Chains A and B, each alone.
Chain A
């Protein structure tokens, strides 16, 4: 199985900050990497698929990059509604695996 790790596990940031979250796969997954945002008590929301493709309706301050085993999610200017937990997930092979999540909270 492909293991996914994320760093940091949590971070504190201010509105307007640039935030970067890293995701690493235990083996190459090409660009089959997706990012989700989840707020407490809510279902996950898809942000990015295929490493860097933005889902419809997702603000352009979100971006993704990487390939192989190393990937990043960047929020260029953090907004109040962005405080949430972010998960990466590989869809290269089953079992599809998620990272443990990165919680972004208010500094």
Chain B
């Protein structure tokens, strides 16, 4: 079964750090591009970051550039999001999502992990 499972969410103070993980199974992880998408409480979906299958191409939303870092380990079949200098507005459910390629959208989503930034 194709599956993405996020972990690492939690409560963190403003200015703090957190590292999210996404474990992939049931497919050849190294053949797929990956994304992080978030959803603030009661709000819509916001794309956060993209990484190509090899890790050579990375993009970020302006709202997270310089603070969040996407990476992947194709040996461990895992995607990561290092979150630094967290702000209240980063509070959201974070989803990892698979893409067949850049243009084809996100076909498989994880269940999400919740990040709460609050003092």
Contacts and interface: CB of A to CB of B under 8 A. Distances in A.
Contacts of A100: 44
B110 interface: yes
A49 B104 contact: yes
A80 interface: no
Interface in B27-70: 35, 37, 44-47, 50, 59-62
Given A43-B109, A46-B109, A98 B61 contact: no
Interface residues of A, number: 24
A85 to B, nearest CB: 8
Interface in A22-59: 32, 34, 36, 38, 43-46, 49-50, 55
B71 to A, nearest CB: 17
Contacts of B102: 91
A94 B103 contact: no
B105 interface: yes
Contacts of B60: 95
A6 B102 CA distance: 23
Interface string A67-107: 00000000000000000000101011011111111000000
B103 A44 contact: no
A55 B108 CA distance: 10
Interface of A: 1, 32, 34, 36, 38, 43-46, 49-50, 55, 87, 89, 91-92, 94-101
Name the 9 nearest CB pairs between A and B, nearest first: A34-B105, A96-B47, A94-B59, A49-B105, A43-B109, A98-B45, A46-B107, A95-B61, A101-B44
